Amino acid sequence: MVKVPELFGSMVFDDATMKERLPKETYKALKKTIKEGAPLDINVANIVANAMKDWAIEKGATHYTHWFQPMTGITAEKHDSFINPTDDGKVIMEFSGKELIKGEPDASSFPSGGIRATFEARGYTAWDPTSYAFVKNETLCIPTAFCSYTGEALDKKTPLLRSMERISDEAIRILRVLGDNETARVVTTVGPEQEYFLIDEELYNKRKDLIYTGRTLFGAKAPKGQEMEDHYFGSIKPRVIAYMQDLDEELWKLGIYSKTRHNEVAPAQHEMAPIFTTTNLATDHNQLTMEVMKRVAHKHGLVCLLHEKPFAGVNGSGKHNNWSLSTNTGRNLLKPGKDPIRNTEFLIFLAAIMKGVYEYQDLLRVSVASAGNDHRLGANEAPPAIISMFIGDDLEAVVNAIIEGKSVVNNEAGNMDLGVGVLPDFKKDTTDRNRTSPFAFTGNKFEFRSLGSSLNIACPNIMLNTIVAEELSQFADKLEPVEDKQSAVKALIRETFKEYKDIVFNGDNYSDEWVAEAERRGLLNLRSMPVAMPYFVAEKNVKLFTKHNVHTRREMFSRYEIQQEEYGKVINIEALTMIEMARRDIFPAVSAYVQKLVEACNAKKALSASIPCDAELAVIEKLSKLLCCFYNKIEVLEEKVNAAKGIKDVAERALFYGEEVFNAMNELRAVGDEMEVSTAAGYWPYPSYGELLYGVR
């Protein structure tokens, strides 16, 4: 029997552990650093480092690492042991304040998009004391930010921390305008729901496509997909529940608030949702969660797939980024309360978000763009590539009433005064009906639903925080100098709703009508990553990020380049994998089967001329034709891949991969899948979709 409260955070150097292990003065100094960002004295750091090391050794650690999030989207670590030689030929275990605070990994092999030329390989990692250190794999992990020596961010954490500071400062300005003189800080909170697939490891090992690319590149549909809708929330199979239990325990040890587990829509698909926390921690925790998910799966003879679209024909995996704003006293600023029309605080933040989402649709789209996620957006399983915002009918009625200058709301029951208690308290059930919207208000938070399952959530949250900070700052600039603040705030809310309401859409985002309607409204529809990415470096966006010191111009262009480059690489690997599978496995397998059929015909004829061979001949003819076609498509794909390599311009190359190479891949796959259904199972070189999707019991 696990005792969860004791297990929880047992591998984390958390506040309780610090309090217990550090001298009072040291603890106080460290807390000051954590709370206010005050620089940490080296003497204090030495004491903290030593206590951390002693604690980590008790937890089985022999090494430490600065744990960081380079722009590859994964987390990076380089382990150093605690050993230090002594005169008598032995070692002692040591860890200094200097080693805790700063690390110097060889940065040259991490993508930097030209910020740091490889001859100037030095970058450094700096301890982020706002995220607790923890022990995993016998290693003390210290969450850090990763920067170049010129101070430019080489990671995802640094801009995230900057954006959190910005939105806090601007939100405080607004709260002051509204007469709140108490709140000292505003934090953004995030709860990321994580989807994943679980498949059998033995089957996985037989599929080159899964091994090299994380998704299947060939595979005919199984007779059964997700059409029966019997998997979502269905009872969980024994092997899966054993995995989930183990996963929860491992996550709890790391202080991750894993809360909800259930089956998802597609067969073999599942979800884990944690309780929300501050964005910085939620990001670190989500990165850890993805890693632990994979590790625990291996222990159970399973593989956890985090790719956005591992299987064609059934839903892929996403991540829902639930996002809100909270004061340091714990007040949720996005809680409408019982009387939203008179809840000025809620309305002004809603207005800022509405304006932000409208003006920076492109950035929100860019923040979820990737080769993997392109398979999902707009494919009727995830929100479309068009960014809009869902606020629900009740809240829309409030917004409309404000626009029309009324204090009553028109709803189904006719005109109703918006007195206390008339409208339902905005519970989930009145706002959570729409599952198709990219950005949905769900009672007291917004749920950004367009994220892909493997994405580092730092990116969308950097965007959200920065765009809302910008709108709040514009509001504050307007409101601060005004005498009659109450009227000015009201007018501003009304004007903003009026001007930006076009971003609100409560209908079915999967419908063709919406695509047409969105076009009429002038909303962007950026269908793929290479089409969306150039918007990131549009002048208005460079202005936004540099104004708020979240990114420098150089950082932005480097990120732009890295992402475009990475996109091309992903598709290139997929294409090469397909070519190898096609030439070396599928072609020979089908050819061998055809030969077997020919032999069967010949044997029959030798026996007696009257035995019919029509069936074999039909299959021989069909597969032979398909093989010719298959061969031609391999050649075409190869040509396209070679052509792509020759394109110098990174944006042009990404576009070519996304269109020409990608189309050639789809065409090759179609022929391969058609051959699969006509080829004897024993000849087919890979486990089928049926085996992969229904193999775990």
Return the residue matching tokens 């909800």.
260
End-to-end CA distance of the chain: 24
Distance of CA 372 to the CA centre of its chain: 11
* 231, 285, 320, 375: residue in contact with Mg ion (rule CB under 5 A): 320
**Which of 217, 240, 266, 273 is close enough to bind ligand ADP by CB under 6 A?**
273
Count of residues interacting with ligand ADP (CB under 6 A): 16
21 or 262, CB closer to ligand ADP? 262
- 324 makes contact, choosing from ligand ADP, Mg ion, none, with CB < 5 to 8 Å by partner type, with ligand ADP
DSSP state, 76?
B
- Number of residue whose CB is nearest ligand ADP: 191
Joined tokens for residue 294: 């994979």
Work out how close the CB of 583 gets to Mg ion at its nearest, in angstroms, rounded to a whole number.
Answer: 43
Whether the Cβ atoms of residue 372 and residue 308 lie closer than 8 Å to each other: yes
Give the span between the Cα atoms of 253 and 240, in whole angstroms.
20
Of 71 and 190, which has the nearer Cβ to ligand ADP?
A: 190
- Residue 190 binds to ligand ADP (criterion: CB under 6 A): yes
Query: Between 374 and 447, whose beta carbon lies closer to ligand ADP?
Result: 447
CA 463-469-475 angle, 5° bins: 140
Contact between 193 and ligand ADP per CB under 6 A: yes
Residue 19 binding target from Mg ion, ligand ADP, none, CB below 5 to 8 Å by type: none
Q: Does 445 bind ligand ADP (CB under 6 A)?
A: yes
Partner interacting with residue 452 (select from Mg ion, ligand ADP, none; CB below 5-8 Å by kind): none
Query: How many DSSP H helices and E strands does the chain contain?
Result: 25, 19
Nearer to ligand ADP, 71 or 391 (CB): 391
Alpha-carbon distance of 21 to 312, in angstroms, equals 52
CA distance 645 to 649: 10
With CB under 5 A as the rule, give the number of residues binding Mg ion.
1
Q: What is the nearest approach in angstroms of ligand ADP to the Cβ of residue 432?
A: 6
Would you state the structure tokens that stand for residue 506, as one six-digit string? 């409560």
Name the minimum Å distance from CB 125 to ligand ADP: 28
Q: Which one among 82, 110, 124, 276 touches ligand ADP, defined by CB under 6 A? A: 276
- Please report how close the Cβ of residue 447 comes to ligand ADP at its closest, in angstroms: 6
Other Cβ atoms less than 10 A from the Cβ of 573: the count is 14
The answer to whether 324 contacts ligand ADP (rule: CB under 6 A) is yes
Q: How far is the CB of 325 from Mg ion (least distance, A)?
A: 18
102-110, 380-388, 444-452, 502-510 -> range binding ligand ADP (CB under 6 A): 444-452
- Say which DSSP state 135 is in: E
Residue 112 or 442 having the CB closest to ligand ADP: 442
Please tell me whether residue 332 binds ligand ADP under the rule CB under 6 A: yes
Contact with ligand ADP (CB under 6 A) among 97, 123, 274, 318: 274
Q: How far apart are CA 328 and CA 673, in angstroms?
A: 56
Site for ligand ADP in 549-608 (CB under 6 A): none
Binding segment toward Mg ion, per CB under 5 A, in 98-106, 114-122, 214-222, 315-323 = 315-323
Phi and psi angles of residue 355, each rounded to the nearest 5 degrees, phi first: -65, -40
Give dist(CA 537, CA 368) in Å, integer. Answer: 15
Contact between 267 and ligand ADP by CB under 6 A: the answer reads: no
Contact between 213 and 574 (Cβ < 8 Å):
yes
Closer residue to ligand ADP in complex, CB, 190/348:
190
Query: What number of other Cβ atoms are within 10 A of residue 78's Cβ?
Result: 14
Question: Using CB under 6 A, which of the segments 7-15, 185-193, 580-588, 651-659 binds ligand ADP?
Answer: 185-193
Binding mask 400-439 for ligand ADP (x = CB under 6 A): ----------------------------x-----------
SS (H, E, C) 622-673: HHHHHHHHHHHHHHHHHHHHHHHHCCCCHHHHHHHHHHHHHHHHHHHHHHHH
* Residue-level length of the chain: 697
Q: Which one of residues 436, 444, 453, 461 is an interface residue with ligand ADP (CB under 6 A)?
A: 444
Which runs of consecutive H residues, i.e. helices, occur in 432-484? 458-479
Which of 194, 247, 256, 210 is CA-nearest to residue 456?
A: 194
Tell me how far apart the alpha carbons of residues 610 and 612 are, in angstroms, rounded to a whole number. 6
Which one of ligand ADP, Mg ion, none is in contact with 444 (Cβ closer than 5 to 8 A by kind)? Answer: ligand ADP
Closest approach, Cβ 434 to ligand ADP, in A, equals 12
Q: CA 661 from chain center: how many Å?
A: 25
Question: Looking at 46-54, 281-289, 316-324, 676-684, which segment touches Mg ion (CB under 5 A)?
Answer: 316-324
Q: Which residue's CB is nearer to ligand ADP, number 466 or number 528?
A: 466
Distance CA 410, CA 401 (A): 8
Burial class (CB in 10 A: 0-12, 13-18, 19+), 477: exposed
* Residues contributing to the site for ligand ADP (CB under 6 A): 189-191, 193, 273-276, 322-324, 332, 428, 444-445, 447
Q: Rule CB under 5 A: which residues touch Mg ion?
A: 320
